[in-house]
Amino acid sequence: MLEINNLNVSIDKKIILDNFNLKIGEGEIHVIMGPNGVGKSTLARVIMGDDTYKINKGEINYFNENLLKMKVYERSRKGIFVTYQHPKEIEGVANMDFLKTSVTSITNEKLNLFKFANEVNALKDELKIKNNMLYRSINVGFSGGEKKKNEILQMNLLKPKLIILDELDSGLDVDSLKIVCNSINKYLENNKNTSVIIITHYQKMLEEIKPDYVHVLMNGKIVETGDINLANKIFEKGFDSISTNEMKEQK
Amino acid sequence: MNIINIDNNKSININDNVCIKDRNNKYKIDLLKQDKLILIINNIDSEMVINVYDNFNLLLYGNIDNKLNIKINIYNGSKLKLNKITKNNNSQENIEINLDSNNSTIKFNCTYIGSLKSNVLVNHKFDNTTSNIVNHAATNNSDIIININETVENGIKNCKLKQYTKILKIDNSKVLIRPILNTRDYRVEAFHSSIVTNINKDDILYLMSRGLNESESIKLIMDGFIFSNIEDAEDEISKIKEFLDI
Ligand SMILES: Nc1ncnc2c1ncn2[C@@H]1O[C@H](COP(=O)(O)OP(=O)(O)O)[C@@H](O)[C@H]1O
Ligand SMILES: [Mg+2]
């Protein structure tokens, strides 16, 4: 469903991703790990379509279409959903009005308000979201955890085919992380073809959502791919164990 | 809440609390007893004089394609809570507020949409009067000038003046805010702040990443900003949106 070939991305003339390759099939769960500042969020933002990042080389195909030619909202309408590490606060725009507009834009049909309200209510209970969060301004005055829950509420409503979770676990306490991951797992259970990219530093997240592949991103590219055992090795020994391997290869 | 469409009320219209008269092309509206009222002021050409004799909650809205002239006099130490939302089309608004007795108070949430020039004049004519003006204006490629002029007359003491103006715009609209506070007396509390901001590109990006196109995103942010200035009349927002076609 997603194929990234030889991608080179820079910001302010600094190259962040170089010769980056990644292939994701339908229904697969991939994890991307890497030290702070290596470009994990950059990757998520490039897939989302944030044009502050400059694409110098390479291609991204999404269901055999050229993703890089699509506008941000076209990508979203075609099923790409990227959670924000720090979701935006937008004063004066009621969360519920936003959700309605968003769902309407994506489904491109008139909203069945009754059905929509039921769906939101069920998700509200599932995610243990306070009722007033639906009517307050988007993310304004929400705690870190509430913002992340709001992201997953949106995810459930927008029915994405590719979900990118960028440090969803940061700012979430253990209980909230469980709630949020259960909701994601339930969504994946009902949408078996949906693929996921998880960006995380923490083991807890991968205990909740079981990945098929684990990649390590360093020096602009994926330097090692494995399964959960690779993640466990990193949790235990850190990224040094990886970088020494790579340096050995280079020698 | 009572809704009166001013344009349809050329003749005298009275209930216990409100009296509206149309005299020589001038509306005289007396707010006599504590109540709430909505007046639709769609393109009224004639001047409006509103006399306030008791605490009152008043909501005004309409399209203004040419001129709006309103004079408000607040008597009996009354408190007027005023919301005004106008959709402007290169129009001019003149709003004069006279605090005409001790303790007279106005809380004015004043909202403009579109291109306009506005003069808001507030006169503190008695001791212990209070004014609190919050202006929100949003423009999508059109020009806005807002002058706010507040005066405390000579020898008048213990007044409170507060004004806050915020204009939200996208890139190349021209906007200007001129806040003026005149007072010769030191026994006054005055506060003002004026802010002009461009719509945040990251906010637009966030909404676009959730499927809204660029103009839908901008509209949602602008509407949110505009209607967040309505206070104690939130239930009317959907009607106002419909009427003003926003
Ligand atoms: N908007 C930006 N402006 C300037 N530099 C940026 C910006 N976003 C990211 N960077 C830089 O790009 C690099 C990669 O950042 P990021 O993708 O956020 O890393 P990660 O998510 O892996 O921690 C960092 O060196 C960071 O400082
Ligand atoms: Mg990051």
Give CA–CA dist A9/A14, Å, rounded: 9
What was the pLDDT predicted at A251?
Answer: 44
Give CA–CA dist A218/A36, Å, rounded: 10
What was the pLDDT predicted at A245?
Answer: 53
**Which chain B positions have a beta carbon within 8 Å of A105's beta carbon?**
210-213, 216
Helix (H, G, I), strand (E, B) or coil at B163: strand
B187: pLDDT strictly greater than 90:
no
Kindly report, residue by residue over B194-239, the tens digit of the pLDDT.
999 888 899 999 999 999 999 999 989 998 899 999 998 888 998 9
What was the pLDDT predicted at B13?
Answer: 63
Tokens, residue A59 = 């291609």
Determine which residue's CA is closest to atom 20 belonging to ligand 1: A37
Looking at per-residue pLDDT, the higher value among A181 and B4 belongs to: A181
Q: Determine the residue type at A9.
A: V
B171: pLDDT strictly greater than 80:
no
**Which chain B positions have a beta carbon within 8 Å of A163's beta carbon?**
none
Tell me how close the Cα of A216 comes to any Cα of chain B, in angstroms: 26
Q: Tell me which of A10, A18, A20, A42 to substitute to probe ligand 1's pocket, judged by most ligand atoms within 8 Å of the beta carbon.
A: A42
Kindly report, residue by residue over B123-162, the tens digit of the pLDDT.
999 999 999 999 999 887 788 999 999 999 989 999 999 9
Mutate to test the interface with B, among A73, A85, A155, A162 (most CBs of B within 10 A): A73
Tell me how close the Cα of A227 comes to any Cα of chain B, in angstroms: 30
Which residues, other chains included, contact B233 with Cβ-Cβ below 8 Å and sequence gap of 6+?
A: B1, B38, B57, B59, B83
**Which chain B positions have a beta carbon within 8 Å of A93's beta carbon?**
220-221, 223-224
Tokens, residue A251 = 């020698």
Kindly report, residue by residue over B91-133, the tens digit of the pLDDT.
999 999 999 999 999 999 999 999 999 999 999 999 999 999 9
Which residues, other chains included, contact A76 with Cβ-Cβ below 8 Å and sequence gap of 6+?
A: A106, A158, B208, B209, B210, B211
C-beta separation of A197 from A161 below 8 A? no
Measured from the Cβ of residue A110, the count of other Cβ atoms closer than 10 Å reads 7
- Output the tens digit of pLDDT for each of chain A's 251 residues: 999 999 999 999 999 999 999 999 999 999 999 999 999 999 999 999 999 999 999 999 999 999 999 999 999 999 999 999 899 999 888 899 899 999 999 988 888 899 999 999 999 999 999 988 888 889 998 988 899 999 999 999 999 999 999 999 988 899 999 999 999 999 999 999 999 999 998 888 999 999 999 999 999 999 999 999 988 988 888 888 776 555 555 54
Give CA–CA dist A93/B216, Å, rounded: 12
CA distances (Å), A159 to each of A78, A80, A155, A163, A193, in order? 10, 9, 6, 9, 11
What was the pLDDT predicted at A246?
Answer: 52
Which residues, other chains included, contact A51 with Cβ-Cβ below 8 Å and sequence gap of 6+?
A: none
Tokens, residue A238 = 């850190």
Helix (H, G, I), strand (E, B) or coil at A42: helix
Kindly report, residue by residue over A91-115, the tens digit of the pLDDT.
888 899 899 999 999 988 888 899 9
Task: Flag if A102 and B211 touch (Cβ within 8 Å).
Answer: yes
C-beta separation of A94 from A136 below 8 A? yes
**Residue B128 carries which DSSP code?**
T
- Tell me the H-state helices in chain B: 201-208, 214-227, 237-244
E strand or H helix at A235: helix A228-237
